[in-house]
Homo-oligomer: A and B are copies of this chain.
Amino acid sequence: MNDHARTTGSTFIDASEQEMANAIRALAMDAVQKANSGHPGMPMGMADVATVLFNRFITIDPSRPDWPDRDRFVLSAGHGSMLQYALHHLVGYPDMPIGELQRFRQLGSRTAGHPEYGHALGIETTTGPLGQGIATAVGMALAERMLAARYGADLVDHYTYVIAGDGCLQEGISHEAIDLAGHLRLSKLIVLWDDNRISIDGPTSLATSMDQPARFGAAGWNVSAVDGHDAEAVAAAIEQARRSDKPSLIACRTVIGKGAPNLGGSEKTHGAPLGLAEIEATRANIGWTYPPFELPGTVMRAWRAVAIRGQAARTAWERRHQSTPQREAFDRAIAGEVPAAVFEALASFRSEHFEKATNVATRKASEMALSIINAATDLPVGGSADLTHSNLTITKDMGKIAPGTFAGRYVHYGIREHAMAAAMNGIALHGGFVPYGGTFLCFADYARGAMRLSALMGQRVVYVMTHDSIGLGEDGPTHQPIEHLAMLRATPNLNVFRPADIIETAECWELALKAKDRPSVLVLSRQNLPMLRTMAPGANRSARGAYLMREAVGRRDVTLVATGSEVEIARAAADLLHERHNVRAALVSMPCWELFEEQDSAYRAEVLGKAPRIAVEAAARMGWDRWIGERGDFVGMIGFGASAPATDLYRHFGITAEAIADAALAVTQKD
């Protein structure tokens, strides 16, 4: 083994891979014991596989953890986080001293219970919710191929390695992800499956009889199966996987908690400390004589050789980078700065359609804005979960991503909302692109797990969610969102935009592109909507989250607050109130609650006013009381929708100018 390691570029090895792996085992069991919380079984079981992977293959430079052409490593089985933290300490990430491992799972440490993107260098993605890692890695591997197609193998040529557990492969998202990866032939994606046959409840045979290798084979993957404690077998399988023209699954048969003489192989090692007695017995069993958190120099030197090998690769890459004419374009893509020309073009677009008073569905307005954006920058990578011509997410000359063909900019994600969201996370995390993808708003339900991670990781992922209310009509209640706006607005660090017309739609696209540390959801209508803007479109009014679209004439008796397709109806209600009842209503459009919350209280008070308020949205009331106040009321949906033409539904559910006016009259009389 030493010989092999030498041949892959290490300069001096004086510890066997067995000892290197035992260092992981010791760190994992000791840190979990000290925290009195955590999962020792997986790190101990996969220590040998991880050692071979890092010692012989992975190219990373811990001194430059954001080097663009590094290999990506994703610990999909995120509960085994001590495996990652042990590796990070051993290869010498500067922010991972032994003290961090001693503070495993404590407040403010870098060693959170599950790997958290941004908490420590080298963590490529947040994992923990099972299956997210493998699906995110599909996006990373896709981004690698797309970036290589643009900038060539001199600049972009790296692998994406995943360690996945039984849970990752049982979750539905894994199906969507491996189908997509197999279809696109993402040959540089290599998944090492910890085939330990144990899950939390006990043996996996309690709940599954799946032939995983056959399943991956059916999805077009290259498959092998090895003894996960046989380093040479693991290495041979990885070698073979790197040469394959398909993505690869390596089933690594392992013993969970390997090394623990009494508990090894049992679910008892999965999610609880081994206990001091078993830890002592394990030390004896594996011949590890060092105290907790102490590592011998021989082992440390062996591990640091991984970093030295990576550093050499990185400096070689930098030389290539210096000499390539594509350097500046590549660097701009990696920086992810949307060019100013995009925003200038969007400003012209707003002026033009303000003049024309263009009436279109906001999904159509989004398509028109995207045409402008995609013509002015090639950062965006679009797609849809098989609703391209409903979501209107494709624009001219984008070029399609297809099996083995990665020069395009549009991904047919298939009927796979969850994998689409996770893949977009991976594309954003990888760098070089701004991913956006479409589905119906109602199917945010299917993508929830990954959308939450977009927000938690602060990634610029843009969700284009059309058919955003009962306005979609005949498809009925299964397709009509009710609680979805509340669900998304309640999610921290996520901007939810519901524009009312073509001007706001362009504004919201601009804001989504500018929000570099936050995902955005564009919530768009199926039905046509008039251009409502009255003020000249110079300033981006949506940027403050809500604004006075039309002040009341003379005095303000009531304020009507609405979003999206209901702003038009609220405007009609305001007219009706004035004409028939001499009640003066101000009209507020509120395309983004989150941005409005960020405004100072003076602005918010000015917009909301002191008169009673009626909020109007064809969705659940949840959350609106914040803006309505105690004297106001809400016009929207009480229960689920129904199947009928949209205009019938608005009437049936009482979301009409007349109903809004009645509600306004009731609160103004109360007043």
A37 to B453, CA, bound (A): 36
Contact B456 A445 (CB under 8 A): no
Contact A217 B214 (CB under 8 A): yes
Interface: A3 (CB within 8 A) = no
Nearest chain B residue, comparing its CB with the CB of A35? B474
Interface: A446 (CB within 8 A) = yes
Could you say which residues of chain B place their CB within 8 Å of the CB of A402? 206
Contact B180 A207 (CB under 8 A): yes
For window 615-634 of A, CB contacts with B under 8 Å fall at: 620-623, 625-626, 629-630
Of A5-13, A104-112, A315-323, the segment with at least 4 beta carbons within 8 Å of chain B is A104-112
Contact B493 A412 (CB under 8 A): no
Could you say which residues of chain B place their CB within 8 Å of the CB of A176? 170-172, 175
Could you say which residues of chain B place their CB within 8 Å of the CB of A208? 179-180, 183, 414
Would you give 7 A-B contacts (Cβ < 8 Å), ordered by A?
Answer: A105-B643, A108-B644, A179-B210, A200-B390, A208-B414, A483-B490, A625-B626
Contact B207 A413 (CB under 8 A): yes
Of A124-132, A252-260, A554-562, the segment with at least 4 beta carbons within 8 Å of chain B is A124-132
Interface: A33 (CB within 8 A) = no
Contact A384 B201 (CB under 8 A): yes
Q: What number of copies of this chain does the assembly contain?
A: 2
Interface: A477 (CB within 8 A) = yes
Interface: A64 (CB within 8 A) = no
We find that the number of chain A residues with CB closer than 8 angstroms to chain B is: 109
Contact A172 B170 (CB under 8 A): no
Contact A474 B630 (CB under 8 A): no
**A172 CB contact (under 8 Å) in B199, B418, B479, B644:** B418
Nearest chain B residue, comparing its CB with the CB of A177? B172
Residue-by-residue, is A224-247 near B (CB-CB < 8 Å gives 1, otherwise 0)? 000000000000000000000000
- 5 more CB-based (< 8 A) A-B contacts, given A109-B643, A172-B172, A175-B175: A37-B474, A106-B645, A170-B414, A211-B219, A489-B622
Interface: A73 (CB within 8 A) = no
Could you say which residues of chain B place their CB within 8 Å of the CB of A114? 475-476, 478-479, 643
Contact A622 B622 (CB under 8 A): yes
Interface: A482 (CB within 8 A) = yes
* A positions within 8 Å CB-CB of B: 35, 37-38, 78-79, 105-109, 112-114, 116, 126-130, 166-167, 170-176, 179-180, 182-183, 199-201, 204, 206-212, 214-215, 217-220, 384, 386-390, 400, 402-403, 412-416, 418-419, 442-443, 445-446, 448-449, 452-453, 455-456, 473-479, 482-483, 486-487, 489-493, 620-623, 625-626, 629-630, 638-640, 642-645, 648-649, 652
**A116 CB contact (under 8 Å) in B403, B415, B643:** B643
Q: Smallest CB–CB gap between A404 and chain B, Å?
A: 11
Nearest chain B residue, comparing its CB with the CB of A448? B445
Could you say which residues of chain B place their CB within 8 Å of the CB of A473? 37
Could you say which residues of chain B place their CB within 8 Å of the CB of A630? 629-630
Q: Smallest CB–CB gap between A454 and chain B, Å?
A: 12
Nearest chain B residue, comparing its CB with the CB of A403? B209
A489 to B215, CA, bound (A): 38
Contact A218 B207 (CB under 8 A): no
Query: Which 3 pairs between the two chains have the least Cβ-Cβ distance?
Result: A172-B172, A175-B175, A207-B414
